[in-house]
Structure 1
């Protein structure tokens, strides 16, 4: 039987999770608690969709770090951005600025098991 003392638990929204020195949310909650403009791709088939009613100026960036990696970071993975019938690959640590209305973002390569890929976007 696992017994937790109150000081060992952290209440996050409606979920109780064990506390750690650095707050690490379960992968399922990462997108929910992500800062505005941040997204997480949790496996190679995951897709981030951005759809707008008119063409917008968009900037998408691929993070160099894997936010939930334990130990040394695995090889960084870039992003594949498909927008309005075109496609572009963004290397880790780089950004791509473009105009588009319909955008989908996926990992450019296979993600290691259990590793999330972080990306950001800014729309004007």
Structure 2
């Protein structure tokens, strides 16, 4: 009885709540494996609802670690994009026309016309 109630609750979450919360399970995104809710559903079906008391905290810890890894990677990617933009800006300054001072980024090929 507890198992079937837990399975129903997980099913309601997966069907009606999870698709509308605005983000997906970090563990699933990072590892390519089952989401935390799918993991919980499998535990209930295989071992029983009481096993969730031990299994879910470990799964949520793995999910937190995956979230931290994804966040770190996205922050690193943003920093790399900023650096590329900064470098592109330096190229424009270095390639400025000697006669009028227009940068190559502003006008493309400089013809020194106003």
Bin the TM-score by the shorter chain: under 0.3
TM-score (norm 2): 0.26
Higher-RCO chain (CA-CA 8 Å, sequence separation at least 6)? 1
TM-score (norm 1): 0.25
> Which protein has the larger Cα radius of gyration, Structure 1 or Structure 2?
2
